[in-house]
């Protein structure tokens, strides 16, 4: 049974992840509607959830068009890369005790590696389109993701130092008493910002930047290939939310003083849901910085913060060891 478990879980994640990402499109619109004094999609099915099916049917029946001026192979490959990379990222996420596909001692690095791979999707999509807006979008994404990956990795090193392990299961276990969101506040801050930048959502959706680059890197995309980009984006959003939960919000543990009176998986789900809603709120509330401002925010603010965080964490750990 336990040998079958990862396989079953993998299938569940594959199907469930895609379904969840699809539902996210609806949930995000409803939530945005709520915050923007309007209704959002509410016509089809209960609370308008049928909109998900309607959108999928629409996208499936769209003309599967490849622009004659595009690099055909890369153009088709690009949107799949982001979905594959994001799905792979879920392999190391521990949803509950013993409910994970794989627990490797480099779990954290694996996650970081997979999110880095997703950059190729945006970059290649932008380059292969042979469109100026797409090119600008691709360029922006390359610069943005490469820089923010640095802080994303560094912001987690404090946790690794405190846990002494790269395994995500170990990291969750280490939060049995105190969640890392308290001891690693700066880490959390940087990770959240880098997470938005990595999943290129508003306010950091510069590769897409509707108002500047029409649709940025996916200007030339339509139909299912466009849907794949969207799927990848929402999977990325869910993945980042899962990671924030795992790394900073105590994973499957119930909150302190409230206790573990719900099944671990439900706690995990609730926290992920909370983080996702927070990301949607960010999207609704914050304007987009300029490309160079985003860069200087990264290198001049985020990098020092992470370094200070590392320094302080290290010092405290040494001091505690000494004591």
User: Among 15, 290, 299, 311, which residue interacts with other proteins (rule: CB under 8 A)?
Assistant: 290
Task: Say whether residue 68 binds other proteins (CB under 8 A).
Answer: no
Task: Say whether residue 212 binds other proteins (CB under 8 A).
Answer: yes
Task: Say whether residue 71 binds other proteins (CB under 8 A).
Answer: no
Q: Which stretch binds other proteins (CB under 8 A): 162-170, 211-219, 226-234, 267-275?
A: 211-219
User: Among 286, 301, 311, 312, which residue interacts with other proteins (rule: CB under 8 A)?
Assistant: 286
Nearer to other proteins, 144 or 246 (CB): 144
Cis before 38? omega within 30 = no
Distance between CA atoms of residues 118 and 45, nearest Å: 34
Neighbours of 38 (CB within 10 A): 10
The interaxial angle of helices 4-35 and 264-285, nearest 10 deg, is 40
Task: Say whether residue 211 binds other proteins (CB under 8 A).
Answer: yes
User: Among 22, 78, 123, 136, which residue interacts with other proteins (rule: CB under 8 A)?
Assistant: 136
Q: Pick out residues in 34-53 that bind other proteins (CB under 8 A).
A: 35-38
Neighbours of 103 (CB within 10 A): 15
Write down the residue that tokens 């090193």 correspond to. 157
User: Among 6, 50, 203, 269, which residue interacts with other proteins (rule: CB under 8 A)?
Assistant: 203
Q: Which stretch binds other proteins (CB under 8 A): 42-50, 147-155, 199-207, 263-271?
A: 199-207
CB of 130 to other proteins, least distance (A): 13
6-25 as b/e: b if 16+ CB within 10 A: eeebeeebeeebbebbbebb
Task: Say whether residue 170 binds other proteins (CB under 8 A).
Answer: no
Task: Say whether residue 189 binds other proteins (CB under 8 A).
Answer: no
99 alpha carbon, distance to own chain's centre: 20
CB of 42 to other proteins, least distance (A): 16
Cis before 203? omega within 30 = yes
CB of 272 to other proteins, least distance (A): 23
Query: With the C-alpha atoms ordered 107, 108, 113, 116, is the resulting torsion angle positive or negative?
Result: positive
Distance between CA atoms of residues 125 and 222, nearest Å: 12
CB of 188 to other proteins, least distance (A): 20
Closest by Cα among 144, 166, 169 to 156:
166
Nearer to other proteins, 273 or 291 (CB): 291
Closest by Cα among 112, 105, 106 to 89:
112
What stretches of the chain show up as alpha helix (H) in DSSP?
4-35, 51-60, 72-89, 107-128, 132-163, 168-173, 180-183, 185-198, 210-213, 223-248, 264-285, 291-296, 303-322
Q: Which stretch binds other proteins (CB under 8 A): 50-58, 75-83, 203-211, 311-319?
A: 203-211
Task: Say whether residue 289 binds other proteins (CB under 8 A).
Answer: yes
CB of 158 to other proteins, least distance (A): 27
**Which residues contact other proteins (rule: CB under 8 A)?**
32, 35-38, 132-133, 136, 202-203, 205, 209-214, 283-293
């Amino acid at each position: 049974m336990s040998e079958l478990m990862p396989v079953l879980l993998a299938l569940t994640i594959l199907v469930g992840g895609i379904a969840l990402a699809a539902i996210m499109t609806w949930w995000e619109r409803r939530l945005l509607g709520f915050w923007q004094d309007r209704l959002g999609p509410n016509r089809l099915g209960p609370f308008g959830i049928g909109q998900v099916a309607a959108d999928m049917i629409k996208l499936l029946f769209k003309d599967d068009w490849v622009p004659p001026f595009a690099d055909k192979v890369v153009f088709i490959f690009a949107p799949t890369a982001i979905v594959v990379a994001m799905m792979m990222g879920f392999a190391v996420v521990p949803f509950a005790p013993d409910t994970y596909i794989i627990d490797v001692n480099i779990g954290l690095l694996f996650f970081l590696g997979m999110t880095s791979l997703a950059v190729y999707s945006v970059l290649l999509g932008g380059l292969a389109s042979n469109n100026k807006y797409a090119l600008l979008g691709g360029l922006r994404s390359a610069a943005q993701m490469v820089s923010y990956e640095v802080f994303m990795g560094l912001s987690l090193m404090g946790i690794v130092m405190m846990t002494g392990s790269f395994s995500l299961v170990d990291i969750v276990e280490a939060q049995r008493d105190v969640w890392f969101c308290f001891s690693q506040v700066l880490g959390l801050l940087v990770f959240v910002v880098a997470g938005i930048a990595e999943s290129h959502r508003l306010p950091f959706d510069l590769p897409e930047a509707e108002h500047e680059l029409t649709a940025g890197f996916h200007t030339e995309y339509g139909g299912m290939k466009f849907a794949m980009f969207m799927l990848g984006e929402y999977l990325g959003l869910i993945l980042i939310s899962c990671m924030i939960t795992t790394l900073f919000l105590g994973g499957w543990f119930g909150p302190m003083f409230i206790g573990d009176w719900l099944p671990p998986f439900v706690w995990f789900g609730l926290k992920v849901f909370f983080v996702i809603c927070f990301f949607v709120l960010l999207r609704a509330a914050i304007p987009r910085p300029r490309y160079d401002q985003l860069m200087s925010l990264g290198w001049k603010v985020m990098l020092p913060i992470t370094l200070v965080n590392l320094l302080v964490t290290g010092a405290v750990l040494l001091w505690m060891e000494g004591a």
